[in-house]
Amino acid sequence: MKKFMILNGYDAGAPSSVSRAAAFFKKSWPEDEPEQCLLLCPDEDTAVKLAGRIPWNRITAVIKAIYDPEPLLALLARETTADRLYLFGDDPDSAGLAARLYGRCGGSSCIGVCAAEQENEQLFFRKRVYSHHMEARFLARKLPCFVSLAKGLPPDTETGYTHPAPNILVLEDENAENEISFLENSKENSLETAKLLVAGGNGAGGPEGLACLQELAACMDAGFGVSKPAAMGGWAPLSSVIGISGISAAPKLCIAAGISGAAAFFAGIEKSGVILAVNTDPEAPIMRLADAVVQGDYKEILPELIRLIRQDRSLS
């Protein structure tokens, strides 16, 4: 079965995303390589930089200044053939492309795949379901198959691959960009790469309750994120949401305070090296899911912790 990779270069986090997709392919099909890697990029410079994260030579860059899925879908649909696996990256726009292409071309699709297995000519995929409480194994019944990767998979340990210059295909920007305005440009979300993370949730009771956690994050040089309910309440920006619908972080240390540890949130911190939880409710799920837990009010404990950190840092 031939495989085709389609990777999105519009995200500020694209280099990491491309590296994770390459690692996934190498792990799943160590003896194989994609028939073609398609890089969707805003410009040629980006394409050349991202190509250095791809271990294989057959790379084509599709250049379009402003991301618009419609012309990209039209192009991809024209190129789709019935006997292939189309593998997309782990960013949400790639998942959207995979889903739309499936709707347009038929076959099968699995979004958010964490592992692939090929047994003879049969393709199986693993992914998290039931709010990440369960892992499902699916058989792809038909080809073409459009798959996007789960967030938070391990990156390729090798980088700096050298290649001939990728083939370039330029798509003209049409009318769409006249209607599009960017309210906030993408920047690589520091939570995804943070080595230390402080997270707060509904238990904070409001934005003022999060202040103490933000202060702790600042004095540790840590990332600061929240659960979805806290962001929905307007206590923190949507870009700081951790969990299934937000960021998947993998810090060495995560401090979760005032967070119940609902599965939708925990999915975003489960790859942490060490998790410390502070919660008043001993029955909260986080009290079973963390490495160390404190049953108590974080508003009493964290100020002491901040004082200790500052004291130690002023001595060093």
Partner 1 sequence: MEPDLDVLPDKEWLADERLRVETTFLPFMWNCFDESALAMALHLHRERGDISLSAFTIAPSAGETAMRTLYALGFDHCARLDSGEADLRFAPEWTAELICRYCEKTGGFDVLLLGQQSAEGNNSLTPALCAEKLRVPCISRVTELHCADKQRLSVSYACNQGLTRRQMSAPLVLSVGNAQISCLPAPTLKAKMTLGKRPVERLTYEDLGLSETSMDNYAGLTLAGLEPVSRKRAARQITGNTPKEIAETLYKDYIQKALEEKP
- For residues 113-132, which are near partner 1 according to CB under 8 A? 124-125, 127-132
Smaller CB separation from partner 1, 206 or 234:
234
Smaller CB separation from partner 1, 37 or 236:
236
Smaller CB separation from partner 1, 144 or 166:
144
- One-letter amino acid identity for 309? I
For Cα atoms 191, 86, 79, give the angle at the middle one, nearest 5 degrees.
125
Stretch that binds partner 1, among 86-94, 155-163, 164-172, 204-212 (CB under 8 A): 86-94
Give the contacts of 86 (CB within 8 A, at least 6 positions apart). Answer: 3, 4, 6, 76, 80, 98, 101, 144, 145, 146, 147
Smaller CB separation from partner 1, 26 or 65:
65
Contact criterion met (CB below 8 Å) for 264 and 228: yes
Contacts of partner 1 in 262-301 (CB under 8 A): 262-264, 266, 270, 274-276, 285, 287-296, 300-301
Smaller CB separation from partner 1, 183 or 208:
183
For Cα atoms 74, 145, 155, give the angle at the middle one, nearest 5 degrees.
95
Joined together, the tokens standing for residue 148 give 């996007």
User: Shortest approach of partner 1 to residue 64 CB, angstroms?
Assistant: 11
Smaller CB separation from partner 1, 165 or 237:
237
Stretch that binds partner 1, among 24-32, 54-62, 151-159, 247-255 (CB under 8 A): 247-255
Joined together, the tokens standing for residue 297 give 């009010």
User: Shortest approach of partner 1 to residue 164 CB, angstroms?
Assistant: 27
Contact criterion met (CB below 8 Å) for 253 and 196: yes
Check binding of 70 to partner 1 (CB under 8 A). yes
Name the helix (H) or strand (E) containing 293.
Answer: strand 292-295
Give me the half-sphere count of Cα atoms (radius 13 Å) on the Cβ side of residue 248: 20
Site string for partner 1, 140-179 (x = CB under 8 A): xxx--x------------------------------x--x
- Answer for which of 174, 252, 280, 310 binds partner 1 (CB under 8 A) is 252
Size of the site for partner 1 (CB under 8 A): 101
Check binding of 180 to partner 1 (CB under 8 A). yes
For Cα atoms 105, 7, 130, give the angle at the middle one, nearest 5 degrees.
70
For Cα atoms 21, 26, 27, give the angle at the middle one, nearest 5 degrees.
95
Contacts of partner 1 in 183-212 (CB under 8 A): 183-186, 195-196
Contacts of partner 1 in 50-69 (CB under 8 A): 66-67, 69
| Partners of residue 225 on adjacent β-strands | 199
Contacts of partner 1 in 27-46 (CB under 8 A): 42
Smaller CB separation from partner 1, 48 or 114:
114
Contacts of partner 1 in 95-114 (CB under 8 A): 95-96, 99-100, 102-104, 107-112
Smaller CB separation from partner 1, 33 or 114:
114
Helix (H, G, I), strand (E, B) or coil at 121: coil
Contact criterion met (CB below 8 Å) for 128 and 78: no
Smaller CB separation from partner 1, 190 or 239:
239
Q: Which of 58, 116, 64, 67 is nearest to 87 (CA)?
A: 116
Stretch that binds partner 1, among 27-35, 80-88, 201-209, 225-233 (CB under 8 A): 225-233
- One-letter amino acid identity for 185? N
Joined together, the tokens standing for residue 202 give 């509904």
Q: Which of 49, 44, 45 is nearest to 17 (CA)?
A: 49
